């Protein structure tokens, strides 16, 4: 028999003092990773934990994934890699965001693996590595169509053909449009990737990000790199989200007040009340990563996306009134029973009742940005099942 045990981590304030709380379900996170790992087979599934595990905390996320069987992790920065190593010393950790020569000794001391993505980086790494008796491993990033990081396909094929060059331990590319499976660029990138697999035969390869794992035509590879889907985000733009919600964001009600018909609400007086309106003012705003663009009115996005963000409380969705401000956001609770909520109660901003990506769309963005923007003023609760 298992029981859900709540592990509490406080950031900024204890739960009695914080204006909002984040509940992070590590069981759901692990279940999502296991689902993606199964879908990746026969390839191994790694875990992308850059940006402090998409805002959820490397210190909590990585041990949960390690316990579930994940052995390879990707980070953006070497500093993040050191934090992964601190909680999972035996993990294999790749650093995505390039290599700077002054960091070479850190790689040698920490067992981190840089992902080299330019001729300049390859030259620096080779020059520094020749000074060592025990040569350090590296991964090679090849650009197959994204025009961000990576050497060109032609440069990669030339590199592979020269026997004087060291062999990478991993060859990878990144899909630009995998969330849109019909996009023509997918085919171009997959065809280029297959050329790389031939040129670097016997070397581990990686192409599949979260949406790539769902791409039937992607071909063979040895390592997938799930990211946002592991945290509950949508892997595909054209299909229902199969992932379990991982994060619930809630804001505490500071005050309930009544505005009269014809009065305005908030900065800029952008919302004029069409009726006498009960308003729940909540302790959350853009300083907490709840984006101003989610405002109910008074932001340019409302010209393109008519409806702003919503909250969920007492069994109902309630719309934002006026602008999201630095520390406060107002919701229209007129249609709720008068005694349904009180100051101190919590309004869900996304979670089980409001999908992460729906909240993001109302703000004109994507789930990635909402997760990685989460501020440090929330009280955080980590849920994990443990045996009695």
Fill in the DSSP letter of residue 36: H
User: Quick check: is 50 catalytic?
Assistant: yes
User: Quick check: is 286 catalytic?
Assistant: no
Q: What is the DSSP string of 56-110?
A: T-HHHHHHHHHHHT--EEEESSHHHHHHHHHH-TT-EEEE-S---GGGHHHHHHH
Fill in the DSSP letter of residue 54: H
Token digits of residue 307: 């409806």
The Cα–Cα gap between 233 and 369 comes to 11
The Cα–Cα gap between 22 and 346 comes to 11
The Cα–Cα gap between 223 and 204 comes to 7
In the set 50, 107, 231, 368, the catalytic residue is 50
Query: Residues in the chain, how many?
Result: 388
Token digits of residue 91: 């993990």
Q: Supply angle C-alpha 216, 118, 75, rounded to 5.
A: 60
Q: Where are the alpha helices (DSSP H) in the chain?
A: 26-40, 50-54, 58-68, 78-87, 104-110, 119-129, 153-161, 184-199, 356-362, 367-372
In the set 38, 221, 267, 378, the catalytic residue is 267
Pick the closest to residue 168 from 207, 133, 197 (CA basis).
197
Pick the closest to residue 16 from 348, 347, 344, 374 (CA basis).
344
Catalytic site positions = 50, 267
């Amino acid at each position: 028999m298992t029981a859900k045990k709540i592990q509490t981590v406080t950031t900024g304030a204890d739960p009695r003092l914080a204006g909002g709380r984040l509940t992070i379900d590590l069981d759901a996170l692990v279940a999502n990773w296991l689902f993606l790992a199964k879908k990746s087979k026969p390839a191994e599934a790694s875990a992308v934990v850059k940006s402090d595990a998409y805002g959820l905390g490397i210190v909590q996320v990585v041990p949960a994934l390690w316990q579930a069987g994940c052995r390879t992790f990707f980070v953006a920065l070497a500093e993040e890699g050191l934090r992964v190593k601190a909680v999972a010393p035996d993990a294999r950790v790749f650093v995505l965001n390039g290599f700077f020569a002054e960091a070479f000794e850190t790689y040698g001391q920490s067992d981190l693996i840089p992902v080299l993505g330019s001729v300049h980086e390859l030259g620096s790494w080779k020059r520094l590595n020749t000074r060592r008796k025990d040569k350090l491993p590296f991964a090679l990033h090849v650009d197959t169509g994204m025009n961000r990081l990576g050497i060109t396909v032609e440069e990669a094929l030339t590199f592979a053909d020269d026997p004087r060059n060291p062999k990478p331990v991993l060859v990878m590319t990144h899909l630009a449009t995998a969330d849109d499976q019909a996009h023509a660029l997918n085919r171009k990138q997959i065809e280029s990737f297959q050329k790389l697999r031939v040129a670097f035969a016997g070397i581990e390869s990686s192409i599949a990000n979260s949406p790539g794992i769902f791409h039937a035509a992607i071909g063979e590879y040895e390592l997938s790199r799930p990211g946002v889907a592991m945290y509950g985000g949508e892997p595909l733009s054209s299909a229902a989200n199969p992932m379990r919600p991982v994060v619930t964001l809630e804001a505490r009600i500071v005050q309930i007040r009544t505005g009269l018909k014809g009065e305005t609400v908030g900065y800029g007086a952008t919302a004029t009340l069409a009726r006498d309106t009960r308003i729940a003012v909540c302790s959350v705003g853009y300083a907490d990563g709840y984006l101003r663009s989610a405002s109910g009115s008074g932001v340019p996005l409302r010209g393109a996306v008519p409806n702003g963000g919503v909250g969920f409380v007492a069994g109902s969705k309630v719309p934002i009134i006026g602008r999201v401000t630095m520390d406060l956001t107002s919701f229209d609770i007129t249609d709720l029973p008068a005694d349904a909520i009180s100051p101190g109660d919590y309004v869900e901003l996304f979670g089980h009742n409001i999908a992460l990506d729906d909240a993001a769309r109302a703000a004109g963005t994507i789930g990635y940005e909402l997760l990685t923007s989460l501020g440090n003023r929330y009280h955080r609760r980590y849920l994990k099942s443990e045996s009695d």
